[in-house]
Structure 1
Amino acid sequence: MEKTATLPWDLVEEILSRLPPKPLVRLRTVCKQWKTLVDDNTFINNHKKTFRFILVTKSKVYSVSLNPKIEVRELTLNIPGLKDEEPNDLVECNGFILCGMAEGAVVCNPWLGQTRCIQGGVNQSSFEYLGIGYDDNTINKKIVYKTLASDTSHTTTVWKIHDFDTDEWKDEEEKPETTGESNLIYIHSTRGVSLNGNLFFIAYGLTRPSFFIVFYNFRREKNYNLCDLPCAQKDHSDTLVLRVYRGDRFSLLKQCHVTKKIQIWVVKDKIDIRSRMKVKWRIFMEVSIPNLPDLIQMQSYYQPSYFIDDKRGSKRLVVCSCDVDGRAWIYVVGENKLISKTRLDSVVDPWPLHCTCFPSLVMVPGCQREEGKANLQVNYSFLWFFVWLFLKLKFLFSKIKYF
């Protein structure tokens, strides 16, 4: 019997990398090899529609990709109220985007085009949305995503925890009489960083000499200290941005407001809050460029977005920030020099909110229920076209092999 010819795996990977994200969710069930490929971060990063930044204005949502040319695309996302009111914050957590509005918030996966509204309840206009984490309940073997917010209408810190499963809110208050006024923790940046379900923040205290990292544990619903930052001085005028690095540790960007010098630190080992290991930092990059602007403008006080590209032995820092006129720019820095700077002229409104975004195939919690009936009636013409293309290429490949 003649042996059936199969497509080279490189060709299969190339075909899958050109499919829209939504079909990839379903195609993961074809076989174990396809599931392993689609779940691989390297595959997602190399996908033709992968992007690195999300920008939100009062009327539009944009994605920015670097392939290596910078491309700006307008995204079609159903964010209620976006054209009627200006969003007040934007946070990326676990591949989701949390967009705070005057009336509640919107959680979306921009890669899959999914959105879900969160109603803030009483005094929702005073909510400050901090990020998304999850309670990894090992007993019930179920991940429950939760939103963390703070209620700024109180004199003390009041945490607001939203459960995606029940759609209910829970309050938790930190009282000065139990902690002591000198022991209170203040959040330096309201943009949380999610890692392994916990939400991490740069914080400071009245009696502590340096900035430090705290994290909110959603299972215990409590704050914990992690470590001090490697910065020697505590200056609130400096730019400080915490990000996830290599998926399991942190990077820290600091720009001195006087010298404009940028320093990047990274954590040497992966973060494991259960082992209580001491967090060790190492300097990754130092950039001192005279014509590099302030990454935080006094008009907005909105921190820059960045990611580190250290593939193939090179070290590059890619930053998104706004200039003094509110126009968005992308700066690429490496080897202590400014490699390129690009103004995003297609972003129509000034002072856009922005954040880094690493695409994910994780569906927004709750959207599965809302899209269940729609998925039963999905148009399979695109998938049939893919099957036809697959079989056609397989046939051509067998002919080439025969000759």
Structure 2
Amino acid sequence: MGVNVPRELEDEILSRVPEKSLARFRSVCKQWNTQLVDETFLEQHSSRMDYNYDDYGDQHRIIINNACSRLSSLDMVGPSSASIKDISLINRKYPHEMRKRIKVYKIVHCTGLLLCVMDNQLLVWNPMLKETRWVKCGSDFHCFDDAYGLGFVRQSPPPTHRSYKIVRFRCARNDRDRPPRVEVYEFAYNSWKVIADITFDWHLKLPLSNVSLGGNPYWIGLRQNDAFIQSFDFSKERFQPLDQQLPFGYNEHNPIALETFRGNKLSLLEQCHLTRKISIWVRHLITPWTILMVVTIPHFPMLHQPPPPQVKIRAWLYRSRFSISYFVDRNDETLVVSVFDEGPRSVSIYRVRNKEFQRVFVDTAGNSCSYVPSLAHPHGSSKQDTTRIRYRKNRFN
């Protein structure tokens, strides 16, 4: 005999269930399929997660995009093993025997959504829900020169929901001398808007670090010989520095990277190029930096080699594809970090605990990003569709 449960009670029960299970629950019935992507329910589930990060810490993983366009999801499943899953995007408009992987140059992550930068368009993708949203770009699009951030603005009055947006900007200092530009794309209106009156006295640190926290994207920026954390406020549509200086003295030879910690804090990593010591700091947006972890292993590999002084434009463009990704597991004692080896041009994933480390994954060189699955469902997304990929010879101005 069926039992009628009030909608409010049903939402309360389901909001306590991890995302991975909820994704499967969508196939139970049409009502749950609609209910579990409802904006009100997603906000309720997201708010509960904001106070229970320990319950979901084991879902953290790293997405690796290798040189052959293969996307792999790496998940630590035990103290010494990892689960590798191929999640490559396949162009399905061709017959099965002719299908190829879709080329992805960069990946940006926000609340379980992946922004994939391709030849002449963008794809916003939720791998867990297998839903996509295609974004067209103008003729001035460039997959290397342009930087991206994915985030949202919380809409009100109730029911509160997230209005997702993309910022695309160009501030890189390289031999191409392409003019600076800032644009914002709004999912709800399916349109780009040029943001005027923004000038740049800074540029992005390579390898790139890009994270999203509280709806706003963050990068590591450089101004003269100093590094700082730069953010873009989608509500004001302006860049705003979080810190004028990092919690340590900046050294161009020391690899640094930016990530999130437990979903509600920023995390900052630095590796000393002399001692190989890795230090990780964390902070809420309104509190000072505090040290979280120090790993001292003299023979640990360098996460990323600094560029030579005579670096040329082709090498600059090639290096701009790479990033350092890492996360600290739920017991705050194990570090999972990516290492880019420029010699054989490969990317490796290492698991570090105490004074020991082991390589759990290696692939041809590509970029990576830290990723936590979610039920995020941006406006206009639909069942995974990879038939709309387009190629053209003259991509750029």
**1:68-83 matched pairs, under 5 angstroms:** 68=78, 69-75=81-87, 77-78=89-90, 83=100
CA contact (8 A) 2:89 2:101 kept: no
| 1:120 shift after superposition | 1.2
Alignment match, 1:341:
359
Counterpart AA for 1:21: A
**1:9-88 matched pairs, under 5 angstroms:** 21-24=23-26, 26=32, 29=35, 40=49, 45=57, 50=59, 52-57=61-66, 58-68=68-78, 69-75=81-87, 77-78=89-90, 83=100, 86-88=103-105
| Residues 191 and 131 of structure 1, relative CA distance in 2, 3 Å threshold | farther
CA contact (8 A) 2:89 2:102 kept: no
| 1:310 shift after superposition | 4.2
CA contact (8 A) 2:323 2:369 kept: no
CA contact (8 A) 2:18 2:56 kept: no
| 1:186 shift after superposition | 2.3
Counterpart AA for 2:356: L
| Residues 174 and 236 of structure 1, relative CA distance in 2, 3 Å threshold | farther
3-state SS in 1 of match to 2:376? coil
Task: Tell which deviates more after alignment, 72-81 or 138-147.
Answer: 72-81
- 1:316-372, Cα deviation, whole Å (9 max, x unpaired): 21112333323332211122x12322233xx5xx1122111111111243115x68x
CA contact (8 A) 2:277 2:295 kept: yes
**1:95-114 matched pairs, under 5 angstroms:** 95-114=112-131
Structure 2 residue aligned with 1:295, among 291, 295, 303?
Answer: 303
| Residues 259 and 115 of structure 1, relative CA distance in 2, 3 Å threshold | same
Alignment match, 2:391:
none
Corresponding residue pairs, total: 332
Alignment match, 1:362:
376
Identity between Structure 1 and Structure 2 (%)? 24
For 2:45 and 2:215, locate their aligned partners in 1 and report how far apart those are by CA, in whole Å.
Answer: 22
Structure 2 residue aligned with 1:234, among 250, 264, 270?
Answer: 250
Alignment match, 1:135:
153
- 1:108-135, Cα deviation, whole Å (9 max, x unpaired): 1112222222211121136624220112
- 1:290-313, Cα deviation, whole Å (9 max, x unpaired): 2211111467642221001242xx
Counterpart AA for 1:289: I
Which structure has more relative contact order (CA 8 Å, sep 6+)? It is 2
Which is greater in Rg? Answer: 1
Alignment match, 1:185:
202
For 1:250 and 1:164, locate their aligned partners in 2 and report how far apart those are by CA, in whole Å.
Answer: 26
Unpaired runs of at least 5, structure 2: 1-13, 94-98, 308-314, 385-397
For 1:317 and 1:16, locate their aligned partners in 2 and report how far apart those are by CA, in whole Å.
Answer: 23
For 2:108 and 2:155, locate their aligned partners in 1 and report how far apart those are by CA, in whole Å.
Answer: 24
Alignment match, 2:182:
159
User: Are residue 147 (structure 1) and residue 163 (structure 2) matched?
Assistant: no
Structure with bigger helix share is: 1
| Residues 252 and 28 of structure 1, relative CA distance in 2, 3 Å threshold | farther
TM-score (norm: length of structure 2):
0.72
3-state SS in 2 of match to 1:59? coil
| Residues 161 and 16 of structure 1, relative CA distance in 2, 3 Å threshold | closer
